[in-house]
Chain A
Amino acid sequence: MEIKAEVLEKIDAKGVSRRDFIKYATVVTSVLGLAPSMVPKVAEAMAIKKRPTVIWLHFAECTGCSEAFIRSTYPWIDQIVLDVLNVAYHETIMAPSGHNAEKSLNDAMKEYDGKYILVCEGGIPTKNDGIYGKVGGHTMLDIAKKATKHALATICVGNCACFGGVQAAAPNPTKAMSVSKATGTKTVNIAGCPPNAVNMVATVVHFLLLGKLPALDDNGRPLFAYGYTIHEKCPRRAHYENGEFVKKFGDKGAMKGYCLAEMGCKGPNTYNNCPIVKFNDGTNWPIGAGHPCIGCSEPNFWDTQSPFYEPI
């Protein structure tokens, strides 16, 4: 694994240790499903000098996806913000409010017109011309239309931006919908409620590395993370095959980590890499914590996968 000297120099200039940098380049490479020989290429993409500009917009959402994003450890969030990306607008972390915040958005959209990566978090309320969600006096619908039009690419993080999310669940009081549907834009959908930080980072790196979006499934989800079901890779799969099931929470089967199918697990319906990468740096995941999967990376899962405790 040879990494070019000029790449290493760029890393040094960023004040990141080479060891840390190569470590996270390696993790991102594996999440993308690329061969280890690609690590130098990934490192190169992540070390480019002018940091690519990201505009991150919040619509109808809960900020859980931003929270998930700041749990990233490969790279750490301070490295992402200071070294890897130019996060020109992100309401949860930015210093200014009001007019100065709007200025940050307008300046970035002007300076990087057609070149910025737009990240959207949240669904778009569209009923009554979108009056149910406003930022700086503009409806989210108008903001989304304008921002997607001038973006190099639009990445939706979380089920709300990808598919409308919880506010779009029946009866969908505000006629909330996905960014793609509300604006007529093709988007990459990092699905989940919230998605795993690893999958967000890997998508951005894929884009920086290859200059194009990753291969997607019919729902716009990158195949590298959403190419198989939870059930296919579930560590409790053997119990399923053996007919060993949890019958009620806290029972002997639950203590032994048996299959949760009878408790309503939606793993067989759900495409995501949770069983492999888990959450919070591999600490745990819902099935690990003895709770059935609720199918949170599937379109409209609040309606299609519920009631959550009824078996499929």
Chain B
Amino acid sequence: MAKYTIDPITRIEGHLRIDVEIEGGKVTNAWSSAQLFRGLEIILQGRDPRDAPWITQRACGVCTEVHALASIRALDDAVRVKIPPLARICRNLVHGAQFLHDHPVHFYVLSALDWVDVVSALKADPKATAALAGQLSDYPNSGASDFKAVQDKLKTFVASGQLGPFANGYWGHKDYRLPPEANLLAVSHYLMLLRLQVKAARMMALFGGKNPHIQSYCTGGVTCVKDLLDVDRLAEFLYYLKEMQAFIDNVYIPDVLAVASFYKDWGARNIGGCTNFLAYGNFPQNSGRYLEEKMFLPGGVIMDRNLGKIADVNPDMITEEVTRAWYKNGPALPPAKGVTQPLEDARFDYDGKYSWFKAPRYNGKPMEVGPLAQVLAAFARGHKPTKDLVVAVLKHLNVPATALFSTLGRTAARAIETKVIADEMASWVTEAIGLIKGGKLETAAEWKWPGETMGYGLIDVPRGALGHWIHQDKDNKIGNYQLVVPSTWNLGPRDAKGQVGPVEEALIGTPIADPKAPLEIIRTVHSFDPCIACGVHVIDPDTNEVRKFKVC
């Protein structure tokens, strides 16, 4: 049985290696390996807890903001402060803007080239492309002359002989199924999105200070009171929101549906599908500790693809284990009690240890997290905007709900989640204006250092369920800090029972036309939107220190 290594996996955040065995034109086994360790959690120890959001935000600059949010939620929880309504709305606006940025960028910049053949676009007829665009929506700048300009630009680029990032792509691969016109349309939208994402980032900067890496959250609320009370700022936010919504409704969603329509067999055969799903929920509509929060997007736990049965998230069911990771063996433990003993030798062993990621489990099971899990949870809870959109997408493609358990389902769920959030955000701005009109201008609640305390912050982020756990000691310093992040859930290794991680499960069974051009594999890997820098866990190579975490 032939083994293939794909390293580096590109168009992701961070450093990931994927190994597969291929037999009879199919993946029969898979290994996902994180290739970088940074050690942020050990760096946090002994520091001022208020610095944690800024340090942990540097876990990732692609999914920027999200760690600052999970961290500030853990800090709020640790000091038991309830944030004022205006601050809660502000955080939701900034967090929502991150989805509006991140998801379209993922589809067009990080994953589209797995489905779209750029070289084929050179052969397209711009008039036919304009006709196709007209069938999908009436988005502006979609005339024959617009598509011809893009094609001419591409031709000049190719003629220069310097193909830059497009060199050595899998162009001409037989599983690129889109006709030339659809390819040219998608390439045009790729270029459009590259400019539009700048505006989504500005939405975030309006109340975040900058993007990437916002700097406007504080324990108890937010710092950007001056921006929030400035109606011009709120109006500007709405203006960008409208522009993003126009793109999501008229370009992003139709493009996802158009691509999916050529790959219905990937849905029907559940290629790239997983079994269990976990979402923490998103966008709190009231202030309080996690279990008291009512979320706009409700979370939950779904096992064995059973959408008829959804359970509440119980944070005590979360464990991490290290049998197949480059750490000394130990039992599966909750993150709050984490023990971490790294090895000094990080050799890749197919039958042994092979990753810097730990393996998170919920009630002992591997769980897919991310847009698909969040959309399935909202669907199972009967969340109307989500349910309506899921039903509409399934109907448009004429596929059963079971097709959602696939790489395509994951890709469609990301677009659905984007639209559901975008459609709700204007109402949050209205709510903020109402508060301002009513004189409720508080943006940062008072709080006191409580002495030794514990807190946790759970929230869904573009890549899935994100949790931060903090222990503050009696001197108001960080005693311990743990992150369990979406990419560790999705891309973590096997466990002691030999259960594969979600991306490994998803890859097994994938048809491969040409093992030397692993297009089908990177499609599924990309559909999880991996972020490897986020997921690499703490180790302390100097001391091999065993660290314990007290449960709250």
* B-binding residues in A (CB < 8 A): 13-15, 50-51, 53, 58, 60-68, 70-71, 73, 76-78, 81-82, 85-104, 107, 125, 127-128, 131-137, 165-167, 169-174, 176, 193-194, 248-250, 254-257, 278-281, 283-291, 294, 302, 306-310
B194 touches A78 (CB 8 A): yes
| In the complex, chain A residues whose CB is within 8 Å of the CB of B166 | 94-95
> Is there an interface contact between A98 and B6, defined as CB atoms closer than 8 Å?
yes
List residues of chain B with CB within 8 A of the CB of A103.
Answer: 168
Q: How far is the CA of A94 from the CA of B35 in the complex (A)?
A: 19
Q: Please state if B212 and A91 are interface contacts (CB–CB under 8 Å).
A: no
Is B60 within 8 A of A289, CB to CB? no
Contact (Cβ within 8 A) B541 A128: yes
Query: Cβ of B269 < 8 Å from any Cβ of A?
Result: no
Instruction: Name the residue of chain A whose CB is nearest to the CB of B543.
Output: A171
Residues of A within 8 Å of B541, CB to CB, are: 127-128, 173-174
CB of B213 within 8 A of CB of A98, answer: no
Pick from B6, B36, B47, B346: contact of A97, CB below 8 A.
B6
Could you tell me which residues of chain B, from 99 to 145, have a CB within 8 Å of some CB in chain A? 109-110, 113, 118
CA distance A172 to B212 in the complex (A): 24
Closest residue of chain A to B223 (Cβ to Cβ) is A290
In the complex, what residues of A have CB within 8 A of residue B210's CB? 278-280, 283-286, 289
Nearest-neighbor residue (CB-CB) of B193 within chain A: A78
Q: Which of B13, B162, B201, B207 is the one whose CB lies under 8 Å from A86? A: B162
A256→B61 CA distance, assembly (Å): 31
Q: Does B386 contact A (CB under 8 A)?
A: no
A169 touches B43 (CB 8 A): yes
- B426 interface residue per 8 A CB criterion: no
Please report the C-alpha to C-alpha distance between residue A137 and residue B345 in the assembled complex, in whole angstroms.
Answer: 14
B48 and A307 form a contact (CB under 8 A):
yes
| Residues in B whose Cβ lies below 8 Å from that of A310 | 48
> With A171-B42, A250-B442, A280-B198 known to touch, is A63 a contact of B533 (CB < 8 Å)?
yes
Q: Which residues of B contact A309 (CB under 8 A)?
A: 48, 50-51
Q: Give CA–CA (A249, B224) in the complex, Å.
A: 9
- Give the CA-CA distance A307 to B164 in the complex, in Å: 43
Look across to chain A and name the residue whose beta carbon is closest to the beta carbon of B240. Answer: A283
CB contacts under 8 Å to A, within B1-51, are 5-15, 17, 35-40, 42-43, 47-48, 50-51
Which partner residue on chain B sits nearest A64 by CB separation? B61
Q: Are B54 and A290 in contact (CB under 8 A)?
A: no
Residues in A neighbouring B5, C-beta threshold 8 A = 98, 137
Q: Which of A13, A67, A81, A193 contacts B165 (CB 8 A)?
A: A81
Chain A residues with CB under 8 A of B427: none
Contact A93 B11 (CB under 8 A): yes
Q: How far is the CA of A194 from the CA of B160 in the complex (A)?
A: 32
Chain A residues positioned under 8 Å from B13 (CB to CB): 62-63, 92
Q: A76-B194, A103-B168, A290-B227 are in contact. Are A67 and B40 (CB under 8 A)?
A: no
The residues of B that contact A250 with a CB separation of less than 8 Å are 221-223, 225, 442-444
For the complex formed, measure the closest distance between the CB of B435 and the CB atoms of chain A, giving whole angstroms: 13
**CB-contact partner of A289 in B50, B227, B533, under 8 A:** B227
Collect the chain A residues with CB atoms within 8 Å of residue B50's CB.
307-309
The residue that A77 contacts in the complex, of B7, B157, B194, B538, with Cβ under 8 A, is B194
Q: Let me know if A97 and B202 touch, CB within 8 A.
A: no
Residue pair B164, A97 in contact (C-beta under 8 Å):
no
CB < 8 Å neighbour of B54 from A71, A165, A294: A294
Measured CB to CB, the closest approach of chain A to B457, in angstroms, equals: 19
Stretch with Cβ within 8 A of A (4 or more), from B148-156, B243-251, B292-300, B497-505: B148-156
Whether B385 is near chain A, meaning CB under 8 Å from some CB there, is no
Alpha-carbon distance between A26 and B494 when the two chains are bound, in angstroms: 55
B202 near A64 with CB under 8 A, answer no
Q: Report whether A51 and B51 are in contact in the complex, using a CB–CB cutoff of 8 Å.
A: no
- In the complex, what residue of chain B is closest to A61 when comparing beta carbons? B533
Residues of chain A lying within 8 A (CB to CB) of residue B206 = 283-284
Q: How far is the CA of A133 from the CA of B40 in the complex (A)?
A: 14
Which of chain A's residues has its CB closest to B522's CB?
A97
* Beta-carbon nearest neighbor of B62 in chain A: A63
Which listed residue, B9, B15, B195, touches A133 by the CB 8 Å rule? B15
B218 CB contact (under 8 Å) in A92, A125, A167, A249: A249
B533 touches A62 (CB 8 A): yes
Partner of B209, one of A89, A166, A291: A291
What A residues does B441 contact at CB under 8 A?
255
Which residues on the A side are within 8 Å of B15 (C-beta)? Answer: 58, 133-135
A92-B12, A97-B10, A248-B444 given; 20 more Cβ-contact pairs under 8 Å: A60-B533, A62-B58, A64-B61, A64-B212, A67-B62, A67-B212, A95-B11, A101-B8, A127-B541, A135-B35, A249-B222, A254-B443, A278-B210, A280-B204, A283-B202, A283-B210, A290-B216, A294-B215, A302-B55, A307-B47
Taking a contact as CB atoms closer than 8 A, the residue among A62, A194, A255 that contacts B229 in the complex is A255
17 contacts between A and B (CB under 8 A): A60-B38, A62-B533, A64-B58, A86-B162, A94-B166, A97-B11, A102-B8, A128-B541, A133-B37, A134-B15, A166-B58, A167-B40, A174-B38, A280-B198, A286-B210, A302-B55, A307-B48
